[in-house]
Amino acid sequence: MMTNVLVAMTVLAGACSDAGTHGAYSDGGMASDGSHDALASAPPPDAAETAATAVDGVCGPSAGGAFSAAPTSGLCNAGTASTVSGSGPFAWSCAGSNGGVTAECQASLSANAEGCGPEEVMGADDLVWSSFKSTQLWPIPPVTGSGDSGRAVQFVADSAAYPRGVQMVGIDESNRNGKNYVISDCPHRFAPVGGNERCTLTGVGSYGGPLYLRFGPGTSSYDCPLTPGGTYYVNFRDYFTPRGDVSSQFVIYSRTD
């Protein structure tokens, strides 16, 4: 009888020892030595938690505008902009991401674009104000305009960012010589938009303006009205003849009137 009891105890001890060594559990429990079950595995991640959020492309404020040349800013509010194609109308797309849809966008050729002369084109040294936003002293360093053609700075009348328009100030802290600023339909054209003298500053020194550019609702006697989404140019040059070199920076402020 004693012999049978000893045999039973030996078999039981061996089984417990084997279980404690290998941790052979299939339910993710713990072995007798406190170690984790080697066969257990974490549950698969929830697909909803790991999937990236789809983002649709959305056309920017240039869509639906009228431009004298292919727009270079304000193309997309969301998504990745394609190359602008066409010579009027202009077309581009805003590609969505993570499975989002692509938006197709278009802008028209402004009625006065064909009136730009052969010299009224953007040059290599001219600037595009591609991030037209309230700023202090842009560009840095100041840009220089020389001779009769002066310097052209292209911008878009961004009515999405500035529903009523902006005040634009020309600043030249290093050169007090007089200069002319003109908001025009064409680069290097010193005739104002629509012949409106409110779109010009003449003979100003180190501080010129503001020019009150109107993009949206509201009227005032000092407005320079511009088409929302349209492309325009602030051209500047020396006031005195023969015209030499003058420099300028700009500040714009959102209008609330």
Mind listing the pLDDT tens digit for each residue in 242-256? 999 999 999 999 998
Q: Which among 165, 255, 170, 254 is positioned nearest to 215, based on CA atoms? A: 165
State the pLDDT at residue 136.
77
| CA–CA separation, 89 and 66 (whole Å) | 9
Mind listing the pLDDT tens digit for each residue in 162-201? 999 999 999 987 666 689 999 999 999 999 998 999 999 9
Opening angle at CA 56, ends 55 and 58, nearest 5: 130
Cα torsion for 118, 121, 126, 128, to the nearest 10°?
Answer: 170
Residue 10 has pLDDT above 60, yes or no: no
Q: Over the chain, what is the mean pLDDT?
A: 80
Residue 93 has pLDDT above 60, yes or no: yes
Q: Which residues contact 56 (CB under 8 A, 6 or more apart)?
A: 78, 79, 96, 100, 101, 103
121-131 mean pLDDT: 88
Instruction: Out of 67-76, 108-117, 154-163, 235-244, pick the least confident.
Output: 108-117
- Put simply, whether the predicted model's pTM sits higher than 0.85 gets the answer no
Amino acid symbol at 240: F
Eight-class DSSP state of 250: E
How far is the CA of 143 from the CAs of 104, 153, 170, 213, in angstroms? 36, 10, 11, 21
Residue 20 has pLDDT above 90, yes or no: no
Mind listing the pLDDT tens digit for each residue in 47-84? 555 568 999 999 987 787 767 677 777 789 999 999 99
More confident residue, 114 or 232: 232
State the pLDDT at residue 88.
73
Where b means 16+ CB within 10 Å and e means fewer, 138-158 reads: beeebbebeeebbbbbbbbbb
More confident residue, 252 or 25: 252
| CA–CA separation, 62 and 229 (whole Å) | 5
| CA–CA separation, 175 and 180 (whole Å) | 13
77-96 mean pLDDT: 90
| CA–CA separation, 155 and 230 (whole Å) | 8
Q: Domains along the chain?
A: 54-109 (no CATH), 123-254 (2.60.120)
Contact indicator for 207, 169 with CB cutoff of 8 Å: yes
Q: Which residues contact 35 (CB under 8 A, 6 or more apart)?
A: 23
Residue 31 has pLDDT above 80, yes or no: no
